[in-house]
Amino acid sequence: MNVHEYQAKQIFAKYGVPVPRGFIANTVDEAVANAEKLGGKIWVVKAQIHAGGRGLGGGVKLAKSIDEVRVLAQEILGMTLVTHQTGPEGKLVQKVYIEEGADIADELYLGIVLDRAKEMPVIMASTEGGMAIEDVAHNTPEKIIKVAIDPTIGFQGFHGRSLAFALGFSKEEQGKFIKFAAALYKVYMENDAEMIEINPLVKTGSGEFLALDGKMGFDDSALGRHPDIEAMRDITEEDADEREAGEFGLSYISLDGEIGCMVNGAGLAMGTMDTINYMGGTPANFLDVGGKANAETVAKGFEIILKNKNVKAIFVNIFGGIVRCDRIANGILEATKLVDVKVPVIVRLDGTNAPEAIEILNNANMANVIAASDLGDGAKKAVAAAKGVIR
Amino acid sequence: MSILVNKDTKVIVQGFTGKEGSFHAEQCIAYGTKVVGGVTPNKGGTVHLGQPVFNTVSEAVKVTGATVSMIFVPPAFVGDAVMEAAEAGIELAVIITEGAPVKDMQAAKAYATKKNMLTIGPNCPGIITAEECKIGIMPGSIFKKGNVGLISKSGTLTYEGANQVCNAGFGITTAVGIGGDPIIGLSYKQLLPLFEADPQTKAIVLIGEIGGDLEIQAAAFIKENITKPVVAFIAGQTAPAGKRMGHAGAIISGSAGTAAEKMAALTAAGVHVVISPADIGKKVAEVLGKK
């Protein structure tokens, strides 16, 4: 789960990671009131969406008067912001964060993420802040400093010093930076974060470090023990169909093709999409029914797949391990009662209770259900059905 | 022959009396696995599925001499359960549970390594030596005895791959589902040399997925160390690039983890890469000679 910048900064502040003062606004009037509350002469109006690259996309602007705050808030609230991380369809801006301006002397990058190979968190820092870090990594990888932290010993002084020396800080700066990094590591560990990114981390004219931006993602498996973070979930940032599927234990991602897929297990689901593609067809979605599939979830799966009007055929591909094929077969019967399935449905059932399942389907004698003997056969039939060759 | 587990392996089950633990332990026993007991705190002294229940892993190991533990406890308790197994001297923990927090696994894996305990999973189907020992949730009936070793990140693709190998007239020595979580136990790189050393295994099927770089590491390892033929499939060639907030993960691994990248690395290492998983069986038959 991801949170907005303003929420990440609220968490930072709780742990003593310095952030600029700011207030969140849902309307233009709130934005203006927030600017007045902050006082000062310069404000930053920042679009709050779950994606990076907001500045380049026109979602972060500087205001030098209260009137300008009003104009910019009007402009940004309700705009569809397109960045390199939103995809071409962009994201609707529903909130703006009004922040006091900062006196920027230098821009840095600081992030924490799990290093899967080392199996421990790694702190990444760079003097090249304020630009796309993936470009820095690509063009000048030597400018990204990485220090892995063994969680069994936690963040120690030497970790901080090795970062601070590599970044070329003066003696006074070192102390402040190490304190900053130590606090951020604590934020990461105590909240079961998956990643933290501050870009830019700025050094102010008076030599203080300040998180000018903040991105945080959390380990979904650990949200149960962080109700305060779970409460920060912004469901408007999530795809409605994907979320609805999730409520039924289904994992769904919409794609551009014509063949709807219902599969158990993420690996087989991807493998099924790959096979459809290999046979000359195009998958309309990724759908993993998970290990607890029953009649209700299968019916829901059909409903979600058929919301996509491009779907010309559906391929149900189940290799039953924990999932019992007879339950899936009953689910298909149930689904056709609840949802009007007009397209051909190609069904391949193998594994646990497959013979019973095939009998259930045969006895039901449904007009648009086509049986397949294996994965390759099923994909071939689905491609043919989508092209109208068989029905 | 086989790797890691066989008909003599003594297994205990952590989370023995729970719904999932009970159901699958019963299936394992029916398959022939030597399940010698289980652990559920506060149920020590009782008997479940005809086997003794203990309060602690340490007690279970002392009484039964078990060397392997199959873990079914709920996600929030997985880290604790793995560390308890390591402390008690278990040699291999097979962690089936899905949804264990990454931070817990970080600590548990580090402790397991310190105690020389091997782990498989979490979030995996487990390990099976065909017709001898099943420690996990895979449908046992599809694994016929033979001479092909199988390693897979994905559960259902483990079944799909094994089924095709068997339908092609061959069979399985041992199949291991390693799981796809950010932190996992044994991976391709540790399992490949075991299959290389196993005289019964004549070919290896490697099934991977997009994300991470384990398959890239496997490719480099195969090139240098593996003489037996390897057939591979990487799932996710048609998966769309995910919408992510940051790109820190890709920067760390130094690779985007795409299917194309992994397939190219494996091909360059001399691996027989199939584009569709429907061709795994056919390709195995090709490299081993038709039966």
Sheet strands (E) in chain A: 22-25, 43-47, 60-63, 80-81, 91-92, 96-100, 104-115, 120-126, 144-148, 193-204, 209-211, 215-218, 251-254, 259-263, 285-288, 313-320, 345-351, 369-371
- pLDDT of A340 above 90: no
| Chain B residue at shortest CA distance from A114 | B249
In CATH, what is the architecture of A21-100? Answer: 2-Layer Sandwich (3.30)
Interface residue A266 vs chain B (CB under 8 A): yes
Distance of alpha carbon A162 from the chain centroid = 32
A151 with B252: Cβ contact below 8 A: no
Q: Chain A window 42-81: which residues touch B at a Cβ cutoff of 8 Å?
A: 50-52
- pLDDT of A378 above 60: yes
pLDDT for A170-226, tens place per residue? 999 999 999 999 999 999 999 999 999 999 999 999 999 999 999 999 999 999 999
- pLDDT of A243 above 50: yes
Separation between Cα atoms, residue A389 and residue A370, nearest integer Å: 13
Separation between Cα atoms, residue A368 and residue A345, nearest integer Å: 6
| Chain B residue at shortest CA distance from A263 | B156
Catalogue the long-range contacts made by A82-86 (C-beta closer than 8 Å, 24 or more residues apart).
Answer: A82/A57, A83/A51, A83/A52, A83/A53, A83/A54, A83/A56, A83/A57, A83/A59, A84/A52, A84/A53, A84/A56, A84/A132, A85/A51, A85/A52, A85/A53, A85/B243, A85/B244, A85/B245, A86/A49, A86/A51, A86/A53, A86/A57, A86/B243
First-to-last alpha carbon distance for chain A, in angstroms, is 42
pLDDT reported for residue A244: 85
A133 with B210: Cβ contact below 8 A: no
Interface residue A192 vs chain B (CB under 8 A): yes
- pLDDT of A308 above 80: yes
Partners of A261 in beta bridges:
A315
Interface residue A124 vs chain B (CB under 8 A): yes
Separation between Cα atoms, residue A16 and residue A360, nearest integer Å: 62
| Chain B residue at shortest CA distance from A5 | B245
Q: Chain A window 9-28: which residues touch B at a Cβ cutoff of 8 Å?
A: none
CATH superfamily ID and name for A104-230:
ATP-grasp fold, B domain (3.30.470.20)
pLDDT averaged over 10-residue windows placed end to end, chain B, 291 residues: 94 95 95 97 96 98 98 97 98 96 96 97 96 95 96 94 96 96 94 98 96 92 97 90 49 70 96 96 92 55
| Cβ proximity of A133 and A151 under 8 Å | no
Nearest to A119 among B104, B106, B157 (CB): B106
Look at the block and give the residue holding tokens 């990671």. A17
B103 with A291: Cβ contact below 8 A: no
Task: Find chain A residues with C-beta within 8 A of B139's C-beta.
Answer: 320-321, 351-352
Size of interface A-B (CB pairs under 8 A): 188
B246 with A321: Cβ contact below 8 A: no
- What b-and-e string marks burial along B142-176, b requiring 16 or more CB atoms within 10 Å of the CB? bbbebbbbbbbbbbbbbbbbbbbbbebebbbbbbb
- pLDDT of A280 above 70: yes
pLDDT tier, A229 (very low <50, low <70, confident <90, very high otherwise) = very high
Q: Is B54 helix (H, G, I), strand (E, B) or coil?
A: strand
pLDDT reported for residue B252: 57
Summarize the confidence of residues A142-152 as an average pLDDT: 93
Class of the domain covering B138-288: alpha beta
Name the token pair of B11.
């297994």
pLDDT reported for residue B247: 47
B142 with A351: Cβ contact below 8 A: yes
Interface residue A223 vs chain B (CB under 8 A): no
Nearest to A189 among B103, B235, B253 (CB): B103
pLDDT reported for residue B245: 44
Q: What order of strands is seen across the sheet that includes strand A345-351?
A: A251-254, A285-288, A259-263, A313-320, A345-351, A369-371
Q: Tell me the average pLDDT of chain A.
A: 92
For A36-45, A96-105, A357-366, which range has the lowest pLDDT when averaged over its residues?
A357-366
Name the token pair of B20.
């999932």
Q: Chain A window 301-360: which residues touch B at a Cβ cutoff of 8 Å?
A: 319-322, 350-352
**How close, in Å, is residue B261 to chain A by CA atoms?**
15
**How close, in Å, is residue B63 to chain A by CA atoms?**
31
Name the token pair of B143.
């694994």
pLDDT for A21-78, tens place per residue? 999 999 999 999 999 999 999 999 999 999 888 888 899 999 999 999 999 999 999 9
pLDDT reported for residue B291: 55
pLDDT reported for residue A238: 82
Residue ranges of chain B assigned to CATH 3.40.50.720: 10-120
Summarize the confidence of residues A222-234 as an average pLDDT: 96
| Chain B residue at shortest CA distance from A376 | B278
pLDDT reported for residue B243: 40
**How close, in Å, is residue B227 to chain A by CA atoms?**
25
Task: Find chain B residues with C-beta within 8 A of A267's C-beta.
Answer: 152-157, 180, 207, 209, 235
The answer to whether the pTM exceeds 0.95 is: no
Q: Is A6 one of the catalytic residues?
A: no
Ramachandran category for residue A344: left, alpha or beta (phi over 0 → left; psi -120 to 50 → alpha): beta
Q: Is A197 one of the catalytic residues?
A: yes
How much is the CA Rg of chain B, to the nearest whole Å?
19
Q: Is A243 helix (H, G, I), strand (E, B) or coil?
A: helix
**How close, in Å, is residue A39 to chain B by CA atoms?**
31
pLDDT reported for residue A130: 82
Task: Find chain B residues with C-beta within 8 A of A87's C-beta.
Answer: 243
Name the token pair of A115.
């290093």
pLDDT tier, A164 (very low <50, low <70, confident <90, very high otherwise) = very high
Separation between Cα atoms, residue A329 and residue A184, nearest integer Å: 51
CATH topology of domain A240-386: Rossmann fold (3.40.50)
Positive or negative: CA dihedral A375, A376, A381, A383: positive
User: Which residues, at least 6 apart from B268, have a Cβ–Cβ distance to it below 8 Å?
Assistant: B219, B223
**How close, in Å, is residue B154 to chain A by CA atoms?**
5
Residue ranges of chain B assigned to CATH 3.40.50.261: 138-288
Q: Which amino acid is at A57?
A: G
| Cβ proximity of A48 and A6 under 8 Å | yes
**Would you list the domain boundaries of chain A?**
21-100, 104-230, 240-386
B244 with A224: Cβ contact below 8 A: no
- pLDDT of A321 above 80: no
CATH topology of domain B10-120: Rossmann fold (3.40.50)
- pLDDT of A111 above 70: yes
Identify the active-site residue in A5, A6, A97, A109: A109
pLDDT reported for residue A187: 98
Name the DSSP letter for residue B210. Answer: S
B248 with A124: Cβ contact below 8 A: yes
**How close, in Å, is residue B59 to chain A by CA atoms?**
27
| Cβ proximity of A206 and A109 under 8 Å | no
User: Which residues, at least 6 apart from A264, have a Cβ–Cβ distance to it below 8 Å?
Assistant: A288, A289, A290, A291, A293, A318, A319, A320, A321, A323, A328, B156
Separation between Cα atoms, residue A317 and residue A269, nearest integer Å: 8
Task: Find chain B residues with C-beta within 8 A of A116's C-beta.
Answer: 182-183, 212-213, 249, 252-253
B247 with A134: Cβ contact below 8 A: yes
| A333, A365, B18, B177, B267 from A294: Cα distances, Å | 11, 21, 21, 24, 40
- What b-and-e string marks burial along A125-157, b requiring 16 or more CB atoms within 10 Å of the CB? bbbbbbebbbebbeeeeeebbbbebebeeebee
